[in-house]
Structure 1
Amino acid sequence: MAHAYMMGMAERERRIRRSQLRRSHLRKHSNPWDIPEGEFVANYRLSLPLFQQLVDELAPYLRPKQRSTGISTELKIMAALDFYAGGSYQRRVGKDYNLGLCQTAVHKCVAEVTDALNQSEVLLRHIKFPSSTEERRTILKGFMDVFGFPGVVGCIDGTHIAIIRPHLNEEAFFNRKHYHSLNALIICDVNLNILHVDASYGGACHDSHVWNRSALEAHMQSLNEAGEACWLLGDSGYAQRNWMMTPILRTAPDSPESNYTDNHTSTRNTVERCIGVLKARWRCLLAHRTLHYDPIKAGKIVNACIVLHNMCNNARLDVPALDEYDRRRDGQRQPRQPAYAQDVVASRQALVERLWRDRRRRR
């Protein structure tokens, strides 16, 4: 019996060794440039030229290959991209014939590439709220040209990213749909570029709570106090302010207020479409695809996916179709935010009247 046990252990060791040699051979001969462009985009979401740009940008932040059997920078990034895009845990990625990596190696690749994408230089290069008057005017003009809604410097919303139950402060991440999540604040422009993200708050937090503690809220207030007429568009979960325009609830039909709210809704829908595109590309963020990471690492994955989203968006790459099941499940698992008590603000009334005059002039 002992002999049979020893024979079994020896056979197991031989299988493990053969598997290691096979993966090493695959890594040695893997070349992303041999993959057809269409297949590469389908698996990794980036075009080959954009992938090369990403490799060049992240290489200074990734550990170089130390030996011939090590993992190259290209394979590390491919492993992370496949995980972000697939929405499943690393086991599927580790079986990809283009990678030849075991699950443990893929886990390390995802962590290393995610940290590289979260370097401050990388984040500031790709996620930028307009800092100058000229940059804000460009965004204002974009919204005005497309929707005829003046003064819009961005549209804001929160979206929930499911995570496993955290060990610390568990109650801060347990949301209204009874699962653990991050409530990620997203601000985008008319072209669906994401200008700002904050994925550091738990799913128990109201959208307005996340916004009120953002440094950007104070920045928007200071712009308003300096006399700059620009604002964000938010839903009724946010407080009405001179720098935050929200819809008017329970309006009379065919009134200036209902006209304003219709215009507001169609314009603010930009951020909902933006979030839909983000999650269609990087399906690990779908609310029913739980990230098996602690809140800090999960927040870094959100940031990484948004950097990649903006790169793909600026390169005008096609958005993969999100099937009806994924779209419906994600929508069902997004907690509804209660309406914020609205404040009467004169600037919104002026905007209501302006949009009403514009509508009557077009008739």
Structure 2
Amino acid sequence: MSLMYLLWQAEKQRKRNVSNSLSMRRRLRDLSDPLKLPEKQFIAMFRVDKSTFQRLLVELRARLPDSKRSTAVRKELKILAALNFYAKGAYQRSIGACDLNSMSQPTFSRCFNEVTDALNSPDILQKYIKFPVCQADRKVIINGFMEKFGFPGVIGCVDGMQVAILQPKKEKEAFFNDNNYYSLNVLIICDAKLNILYVDASFSGASTDEQVWEQCAVKEVLQNIPETRRCWLLGDSEYPQGPRMLTLNSEPIPDISRHLGAESYVELHHKTWNTVQECMKALRERWQCLKGRKPLHYGPTTAAKIVNACVVLHNIANLGNVPLVKSSVT
């Protein structure tokens, strides 16, 4: 028997094995039904409860591409695979090979990108990440901070969050931050209930919080508020003081002094502003792909989309009162 014939037979068997493996993966994937999991385990794996997931499915179904292929991944499994990745912060290879979805790495990658793009649809971003532009909406947020902290006029707390990424191919120095890793500097503004009102993930990690703020679209919104409206953001010492930005170095204005009681302005400001620190901690605990120095294995543009997607999901989970868990079940 010739060597060429043996090689041909071996290659034929290899292709048959690959085909059988793919068929098995598809059968396992089609038979899987994560919605049959107990609620607690479902939340641990996907960071949303089943009712919130159904709401998310309604929102995203029309925004995910259709496929006529008989082997196409069901849309609900695409979303669940993406949620699991956001939640675990694991690399794509481990998610793509998980028993739950039985997806190949390329299939998972395609599904993940589709879901991330859907969550970045302009109408989705505008629906779930809303900075208050009218007085009625501002009043709701002001009342929330006043009831919780006794600090009047607060329409949001602001800070920057470093999200680790791989070394970019271009302008890598701009993304190398003071803590010696590559990152995005993500601006976050939140309310008293830890809902995120505004996010900007377009800035490099070496940008300072002040530099990011100077180019923030919210500045224009604040400038258009009539002077008679007593409202402001709270920022730390990294932000410049201004008519609509109160920092630890700001002088207490009469509206605030009347509410200080036994606390100093610095104490009350820090306690209230710390809300944004709690918000960012909750965001990272729920979606651990943003946590620590373990980088997102994407360039800055895609990493920014992932940040936006996680912020949308964070706010949706808050709307559903989904409990926060610190570790996922695999």
Structure 2 length-normalised TM = 0.91
Which residue number in structure 2 is paired with residue 206 of structure 1? 208
Which residue number in structure 1 is paired with residue 315 of structure 2? 310
Which residue number in structure 1 is paired with residue 42 of structure 2? 40
Count of residues in Structure 1 that have an aligned counterpart in Structure 2: 317
Which stretches in structure 1 are left out of the alignment for 5+ residues? 250-254, 324-363
Q: What are the within-5 Å matches in structure 2 for residues 327-346 of structure 1?
A: none
What is the distance in 1 between the residues matched to 2:13 and 2:90? 31
Please say if residues 182 and 202 of structure 1, whose CA atoms lie closer than 8 Å, have aligned partners that are also in contact: yes
Structure 2 residue 299 is the aligned partner of structure 1 residue 298: no
Secondary structure, counterpart of 2:303 in structure 1:
helix
Secondary structure, counterpart of 1:61 in structure 2:
coil
Give the CA deviation at 1:7.
4.9
Secondary structure, counterpart of 1:141 in structure 2:
helix
Please say if residues 159 and 189 of structure 2, whose CA atoms lie closer than 8 Å, have aligned partners that are also in contact: yes
Please say if residues 160 and 186 of structure 2, whose CA atoms lie closer than 8 Å, have aligned partners that are also in contact: yes
Question: After TM superposition, where is structure 1 displaced by more than 4 Å over at least 4 residues in a row?
Answer: 1-8, 255-258
Which residue number in structure 2 is paired with residue 263 of structure 1? 268
Please say if residues 186 and 194 of structure 1, whose CA atoms lie closer than 8 Å, have aligned partners that are also in contact: yes
Please say if residues 181 and 293 of structure 2, whose CA atoms lie closer than 8 Å, have aligned partners that are also in contact: no
What is the distance in 2 between the residues matched to 1:116 and 1:99? 20
Which residue number in structure 1 is paired with residue 121 of structure 2? 119
What is the distance in 2 between the residues matched to 1:98 and 1:40? 12
Which residue number in structure 1 is paired with residue 143 of structure 2? 141
CA offsets 1:214-260 (integer angstroms, 9 cap, x no match) = 1111211222x5321111110100011111110139xxxxx999811
Give the CA deviation at 1:190.
0.2
Secondary structure, counterpart of 1:155 in structure 2:
strand
Which residue number in structure 2 is paired with residue 285 of structure 1? 290
What is the distance in 2 between the residues matched to 1:268 and 1:15? 59
Please say if residues 27 and 69 of structure 1, whose CA atoms lie closer than 8 Å, have aligned partners that are also in contact: no
Q: What are the within-5 Å matches in structure 2 for residues 1-363 of structure 1?
A: 2=4, 5-223=7-225, 225-248=226-249, 259-321=264-326
Give the CA deviation at 1:100.
1.4
Secondary structure, counterpart of 1:199 in structure 2:
strand
Please say if residues 168 and 300 of structure 2, whose CA atoms lie closer than 8 Å, have aligned partners that are also in contact: yes
Instruction: Read off the aligned partner of 2:241 and give its amino acid letter.
Output: Q
Give the CA deviation at 1:167.
1.3
What is the distance in 1 between the residues matched to 2:128 and 2:70? 33
CA offsets 1:18-55 (integer angstroms, 9 cap, x no match) = 22011110122122322222221111111111111111
Please say if residues 90 and 107 of structure 1, whose CA atoms lie closer than 8 Å, have aligned partners that are also in contact: yes
Greater percentage in helix: 1
CA offsets 1:296-334 (integer angstroms, 9 cap, x no match) = 1110000000000001111111111269xxxxxxxxxxx
Please say if residues 240 and 246 of structure 1, whose CA atoms lie closer than 8 Å, have aligned partners that are also in contact: yes
Which stretches in structure 2 are left out of the alignment for 5+ residues? 251-259
What is the distance in 2 between the residues matched to 1:49 and 1:140? 30
Secondary structure, counterpart of 1:263 in structure 2:
helix
Please say if residues 159 and 209 of structure 2, whose CA atoms lie closer than 8 Å, have aligned partners that are also in contact: yes
What is the distance in 2 between the residues matched to 1:258 and 1:172? 41
CA RMSD after TM alignment:
2.0
What is the distance in 1 between the residues matched to 2:10 and 2:156? 63
Which residue number in structure 1 is paired with residue 257 of structure 2? none
Instruction: Read off the aligned partner of 1:308 and give its amino acid letter.
Output: L
Over 3 Å counting, the alpha-carbon distance change for 1:307 and 1:275 in structure 2 is: same
Secondary structure, counterpart of 2:108 in structure 1:
helix
Give the CA deviation at 1:13.
2.4
Instruction: Read off the aligned partner of 1:239 and give its amino acid letter.
Output: P
Instruction: Read off the aligned partner of 1:36 and give its amino acid letter.
Output: P
CA offsets 1:165-186 (integer angstroms, 9 cap, x no match) = 1112222211111211000000
What is the distance in 2 between the residues matched to 1:322 and 1:148? 34
Please say if residues 114 and 304 of structure 1, whose CA atoms lie closer than 8 Å, have aligned partners that are also in contact: yes
